[in-house]
Structures are given as structure tokens and as C-alpha cells.
Amino acid sequence: MNPLTRKLATVGSALGLAASGLLLASAPASAATSCYGPSCTGLDPSTSVCQNDARTVATSSIGTELRYSPTCRSAWARQSSNTSMTVWVESNTGLGQSAYYTGSGTVWTSMIDDKGIVDRACGYIMGFGATCTSWY
């Protein structure tokens, strides 16, 4: 192989490797988003890192759960039962998010800020009224 052909082959190989590395590096490692406190308000917990350390901190008499993430300092309501109902999460500062539950599977609200404030989760069944968890 002559020296010019060898140099072109080397440069071509290097460019090919660099291009393939750029293609691989551009793919996101995770679709999960990160937030903290107020920046979590309105986000879906299932598409965030907040779901990773979330725990149920209170449950109402009709099964509405208050979920809390200490990493994100955010809260949301979650419901699964066999009754159609509206669920929501609210804070003592007036923040709130709601969702309608159709009576199958599980539904959850978007998150709200829980940094330095308290929240609760509520559920409303037509004809029976609303029931809420304790404040957390």
C-alpha cells in the first residue's frame, strides 16, 4: 500500500469512528427529568426521577394516597380502586393539581411543590363527597 493510500485509509477510519461516537453519544441515557421543589409543580411524576424514591405518606379512607419524594421535595395524589372519582393534591399555600379516575388501573396527579409547606391528597366520589388524607 502506498503512503498516500495508507494516510487516506487512516483518516477515513478515524472520521468513521468519530462519527459513530457522536451518534451514540447523542442518544439520551434516560428520558427521566429532574426537578426540585417549585420546579416540579405541574410535572408528571412517572416521567421524572421523583418516582424513584417516592413513598406513600398518607392514605384517605377511600384509598387516595399522598405520594412524596424527598429527593425532589414534591408531592402528588395517586388512586386505584373500582369507583370513578376525581382526585387531587393540594398544599396549604393554595397550589393544587387534579386528575379524573375512571375506575380502572391507577391514576395520579401532576406534582406540586412540597419544599417547606404541607400537602394532602383528596378524592371526591359523586354522591358521597370528598375525603382527604392528613396534611404532610
Residue 95 or residue 5, greater confidence: 95
Segment 90-98 long-range contacts (CB within 8 Å, at least 24 positions apart): 90/119, 90/120, 90/122, 91/117, 91/118, 91/119, 92/117, 92/118, 92/119, 92/135, 93/117, 95/41, 95/119, 97/41, 97/42
Instruction: Please give the pLDDT value at position 33.
Output: 72
Instruction: Please give the pLDDT value at position 15.
Output: 37
Q: Over range 9-17, report the average pLDDT.
A: 41
Q: Over range 36-60, report the average pLDDT.
A: 96
Which segment of 15-19, 32-36, 110-114 scores lowest on mean pLDDT?
15-19
Residue 12 or residue 60, greater confidence: 60
Residue 6 or residue 100, greater confidence: 100
Residue 21 predicted with pLDDT over 80: no
Whole-model pTM?
0.75
Distance between CA atoms of 1 and 99, rounded to whole angstroms?
70
Distance between CA atoms of 48 and 96, rounded to whole angstroms?
19
- Cα 82 to Cα 19, 67, 79, 90, 124, distances in angstroms: 53, 20, 10, 23, 13
Instruction: Please give the pLDDT value at position 103.
Output: 82
Instruction: Please give the pLDDT value at position 37.
Output: 95
Instruction: Please give the pLDDT value at position 2.
Output: 52
Round the average pLDDT of the chain to a whole number and report it.
Answer: 82
Residue 98 predicted with pLDDT over 90: yes
